[in-house]
A and B are shown apart, each in its own frame.
Chain A
């Protein structure tokens, strides 16, 4: 490239001088400030002392000198007074020249553009992050909903195990359940000489016997449309005609009793068949759910009490039914009349022995 003519060079020089505020600092080989010139005040260099070490006077020089690989350029250095300068290092006759060229305008321009760009990127990053959080929150919500519905199904099936389905359904919407039933049949059955035998066969066998006895009661209840209300020790309480009233509840419970007795006879409890003592009575009762956290569906009334009394009065292997139940039979059952006898709390009672 041809050298520009002097006019152009002079113009260029004064243009750069005015527009970019040229200043210089000269540093000698002992790293002392050897001279300064140009618009030193523009860069806050007026107080720079000639003949003294540059270190301590120019903070940014730390670590950079002595430096052999010159020229060297550090762009856009913001000085303590707020000016931004490009720093050019070059050497001449064992001296280092430090040239200051103002870059404030360029800096500010670049800063405006970069500010916009970074703010946009930050916003986008944040949006991305929030979306991810939203997604993971949704996922967690979905999982907990699944867990909840599993729990609900579990408690639902537990409730159904404890309570008749129609009662369980009502319990979910109602505070209290207490129903009068004009006529149902109630059965009690327990195992003859249970306590004594349990002691001789041990806990494990006893539990196995109880389990198969109650399972048989559950199964037969389902077969005959009865409800097992509860077990008390070795005693089971079953009702027919509940929670929905039905005809033939006495027949159903009698059939239930006969089959339960047979199920017992097929079991082996301590070397002999499992013998039951069964009692049935029919009449009005009150049924309801008591308890707040642990529900119990139970029956109350004289009918229940008398059914229990009849059961305890029965002989081993005997199904003893009240006259009221006997009168309700629609089917043919073989029954023997038992001589009228006194039952505690009930006076003289007419009862029958159900045979087959």
Chain B
């Protein structure tokens, strides 16, 4: 049995819990409910040559990066970085969290999700910025937990990255 621990990392209210709910249960709720501590979910992903169980650690988003608890990431093999496309500052938060985990636990595969793509009129992250990150090797997905756009793709991509 192949099991992999994956951590959801990002600022508060970017949609980490909603993305997990969309991916695991295919549901979405408009109501914002902040996560405290960590909520653990499990989802099997069928790849072309194997099946991998993702153990998803949905960590509380922090408005203060300093208070982030690195101990939650222990044992993780991959990261889902989540930013809110309508709040450009959350991109910096997600990237900083990755730096901190990398400094503590070493580099690990990750995907970057720019979430809330359904809110196109409030979008604040430029195409240029996205293309630049893509060119430097980031795997970026413009997702919507509301519509489900690109959510499965992103998780499946990470599943195949961590089970290589």
Contact = CB atoms under 8 A, between A and B. Distances in A.
Interface of A: 55-56, 59-60, 62-64, 67, 72-80, 84, 103, 107, 110-111, 114-115, 117-119, 121-122, 125, 129
A76 B33 CA distance: 16
Interface stretch (B73-81, B92-100, B133-141, B150-158): B73-81
Interface size grouping (class) on chain B: 20 to 34
Interface in B24-44: 32-34, 36-40, 42
Closest 3 CB pairs of A and B: A63-B75, A76-B37, A63-B5
Interface in B1-23: 1, 3-5, 12-13
B10 to A, nearest CB: 13
A74 B12 CA distance: 20
Interface of A is mostly: mixed
B63 interface: yes
A60 B3 CA distance: 11
Given A62-B55, A63-B77, A122-B13, A75 B37 contact: yes
A55 B42 CA distance: 13
Contact of A74 (B1, B33, B72, B77): B72
A111 B1 contact: no
Contacts of B38: 74, 76-78
Q: Most A CB atoms within 10 A — which of B39, B60, B71, B76?
A: B39
Contacts, number: 78
Nearest to A84: B37
5 contacts: A63-B74, A75-B69, A80-B40, A114-B36, A121-B63
B75 A110 contact: no
Contact of B36 (A55, A63, A76): A76
A111 B55 contact: no
Contacts of A115: 32-34
B69 A78 contact: no
Contact of B76 (A63, A117, A125): A63
Contact of B74 (A64, A78, A103): A64
A103 B39 CA distance: 13
A119 B57 CA distance: 23
B13 A118 contact: yes
Given A64-B75, A75-B69, A59 B37 contact: no
Given A59-B40, A74-B38, A74-B72, 10 more contacts: A60-B57, A63-B4, A67-B75, A75-B37, A75-B69, A76-B36, A78-B39, A111-B36, A118-B13, A129-B122
A338 B122 CA distance: 84
A84 B69 CA distance: 17
Contacts of A129: 86-87, 122, 124
A241 B32 CA distance: 79
A119 B33 CA distance: 9
Nearest to A108: B36
Nearest to B56: A59
A60 B37 CA distance: 13
A346 to B, nearest CB: 73
Nearest to A110: B36
A72 B1 contact: no
A56 B53 CA distance: 10
Q: Pick the most buried of B33, B34, B71, B76: most chain A CB atoms within 10 A of its CB.
A: B34
Contacts of A125: 87
Given A62-B75, A63-B74, A78 B12 contact: no
Contact of A59 (B36, B42, B87, B124): B42
Given A59-B42, A72-B71, A107 B36 contact: yes
A118 B34 contact: yes
A67 B71 CA distance: 13
Which of A62, A103, A111, A117 has the most CB atoms of chain B within a 10 A radius of its CB?
A62
Given A74-B71, A121-B63, A62 B3 contact: yes
Contacts of A117: 63
A118 B1 contact: no
A322 to B, nearest CB: 72
A260 B36 CA distance: 93
A203 B26 CA distance: 78
Interface string B56-68: 0100100100000
